[in-house]
Structure 1
């Protein structure tokens, strides 16, 4: 399929077919096979044919680290879904973000980032970019466009955002920040993991590069690890390709590429169900007397509900809420749940729940966690595609297990 198909077809169609084409001469596989070969036979010896000369678009393959038919099909599909020209699949979301950053910054450069970034990304920026490579990393409250503008300097090389953030579901104004980054000559990257390209397209809003943990919604079944980058910037794409294939060798393995390629086929139908269930769960929690606050952009009470309506087409399946109590209350609530599984990660068809202060964000100092709103009773939920009535009944069980619980409204 070519670019004309990407422009002609709707998202749901491209999610199923783009990047794959049955080849009768090669067996007629409707689904891209898992190409596990680490190397590929050449038709002959050509002294002018080098490592970087093999063209996947022409079906030319040389070595699995450089390119692979299964991974190539996935990269084409992800680029199409994000509205980009260049797609890259990595071994993990962290590998993708690290590659994007290292493709842009040099020692002494300045980086502006959301202060509510995922803890793993924040540690990457602090312990690798700042501590090892001498990059000046500045974290700001990016819900305030003025704070971002005030932080950007002449030597700012990269502006990095998540929207919504993990785990507080804070949004930033992608269009507004894109204008700020562009005026400063900085590359603007957006982690789009929580909403997926189905609900948000940062490139169309002005971002230069979009990142995903493909482990999450793109795969959707909690059975593979992966990451992705998509960009329209040819020069940036060239540097990312060099780091992926030669500099770091952190590309996605063929079997994981097959799993994500399969998972993306159902992304639209999954995202619709995730969002519908999450909206019901958020409304239930928002009306519960043992809940202090609910963080979900789909609620009218969310401080950035209007911004969400402007730059997204849906609110996704992830929410967080703060229980009225202490750590022991949160522990009792979580351990009483049976349909929500206590586990890290998000984006699978099954519903997951976790306590950031004791799990995903535990490595952060308590003072630092609390400074950005991650209390000991903040619960994050990845709402799955099960029947929502069963999920609500499970939450009833959790609240009933809390000490001195009151009747559910």
Structure 2
């Protein structure tokens, strides 16, 4: 059985001789034995598209077992990443794919069929929202959006056709927190599985399986890689479900295999995950407190702020608040645009979880997309003044100074 821990920060103090390696140790070592790879300290990158066999019979035996025939289905570098991530999340198995959206697509298209129903939280990452509104219904799957901030709302939404409940926590881009345990309890009482996108937290801060979720998704592009130089996604959960996702979703539905070079880069980033998340979280809280004190700021949302409406739930299921926050300005849409253009240190970009601090304004991008995508719209609860800030690893004082200079000019 996989060992789980209450928090990443207490793991390094654990002895190898009592409860096993701590979280940070496992993030560096789990799933890789250098003696099996010419004693190379770092896992090799296996750049091969296929595998040879010593005989026809051996080839046939591998095929019969769904074996290691082709790089879309198996790669030694990606296998190490899968094992390590599963261990850190407390999952039986894992599957890594080409991006976070590939993870969501693989999950939905593998587990749901025509006539099934999918329940989602009303606020989702923009591209996930587009997929559940536009793509998923084309396959005869009904999508029901529910406000899961009140878990009781789930009870009326579940029907005999409901197969999965999916939500993010923390929620992108609002940084609101949903109660995983309360939602899972209600879903399981009706025989429905729960999948949680935990990208904003990473397993260093939150492990949804420990709170009752069945499946965890990550965009590995974000905090787990942490360096803004590789795309990737992961699905983690029980062995039977993950076998289905591998043998159907990855092999012949999406084919969205992760490149071994990206797997190598993500493994490299994973080694510093614990340290990075501690720094991201501490700096983000300091930045959030500074923003909250500025007269030009209308609101700030960070899970560990005293003013956050979900702070109790956040502290129950997260060991720290992460580096993500949202805030809005009293000057509204135009004020947000002016303020962002005055930033000198913080980069205007749409990703998150990098060493660099990144900020973006969802309303501006949505308006820019509308001439080519008439149905483009902001997610529920996202106002035109909202900005999402991914706080990086810079000095907190420098980030606060940059933000104050831009805000003071409004």
Distance 1:362 1:157, change over 3 A: farther
1:39 is the counterpart of 2:46: no
1:8 is the counterpart of 2:15: no
Q: Distance in 1 between matches of 2:139 and 2:293?
A: 48
Alpha carbons 2:2, 2:90 under 8 Å: kept: no
Q: Distance in 1 between matches of 2:259 and 2:64?
A: 19
2:235 corresponds in structure 1 to 229
Alpha carbons 2:86, 2:93 under 8 Å: kept: yes
**In terms of mean alpha carbon deviation, does 14-23 or 379-388 score higher?**
14-23
Distance 1:360 1:277, change over 3 A: farther
Aligned length: 392
Q: Distance in 2 between matches of 1:51 and 1:119?
A: 39
Which secondary structure state, in structure 2, belongs to the residue aligned with residue 344 of structure 1?
Answer: coil
1:240 corresponds in structure 2 to 245
Which secondary structure state, in structure 2, belongs to the residue aligned with residue 23 of structure 1?
Answer: helix
1:116 is the counterpart of 2:123: yes
1:79 corresponds in structure 2 to 86
Q: Mapping of 1:318-337 within 5 angstroms?
A: 318-337=324-343
Alpha carbons 1:66, 1:246 under 8 Å: kept: no
1:17 aligned to which of 29, 33, 54: 29
2:192 corresponds in structure 1 to 186
1:180 deviates by 1.3
1:407 corresponds in structure 2 to none
1:102 deviates by 1.6
Which secondary structure state, in structure 2, belongs to the residue aligned with residue 160 of structure 1?
Answer: strand
Q: Mapping of 1:96-135 within 5 angstroms?
A: 96-130=103-137, 132-135=138-141
Q: Distance in 1 between matches of 2:303 and 2:400?
A: 19
Provide runs of 4+ in structure 1 moved above 4 Å: 2-7, 360-368
Q: Mapping of 1:288-299 within 5 angstroms?
A: 288-299=294-305
Which secondary structure state, in structure 1, belongs to the residue aligned with residue 203 of structure 2?
Answer: helix
1:397 is the counterpart of 2:376: no
Distance 1:115 1:251, change over 3 A: same
Q: Distance in 2 between matches of 1:359 and 1:134?
A: 30
Distance 1:71 1:271, change over 3 A: same
Distance 1:187 1:360, change over 3 A: farther
Distance 1:258 1:360, change over 3 A: farther
Deviations 1:98-136 (A, max 9, x none): 111122211111111001111111111121211x11111
1:330 deviates by 1.1
Which secondary structure state, in structure 1, belongs to the residue aligned with residue 61 of structure 2?
Answer: coil
1:357 corresponds in structure 2 to 363
Q: Mapping of 1:242-281 within 5 angstroms?
A: 242=247, 243-281=249-287
Deviations 1:266-324 (A, max 9, x none): 00000000000000001001111101111111111111100111111111000000111
Which secondary structure state, in structure 2, belongs to the residue aligned with residue 166 of structure 1?
Answer: coil
Structure 1 unaligned segments of length 5 or more: list them: 56-60, 403-409
1:248 deviates by 2.2
Q: Distance in 2 between matches of 1:362 and 1:145?
A: 35
1:369 is the counterpart of 2:375: no
**In terms of mean alpha carbon deviation, does 377-386 or 33-42 score higher?**
33-42
Which secondary structure state, in structure 2, belongs to the residue aligned with residue 107 of structure 1?
Answer: coil
Normalised to the residue count of structure 1, the TM-score between the two structures is 0.91
Q: Distance in 1 between matches of 2:271 and 2:47?
A: 21
Distance 1:324 1:153, change over 3 A: same
Structure 2 unaligned segments of length 5 or more: list them: 4-15
CA RMSD of aligned residues (A): 2.1
1:183 deviates by 1.5
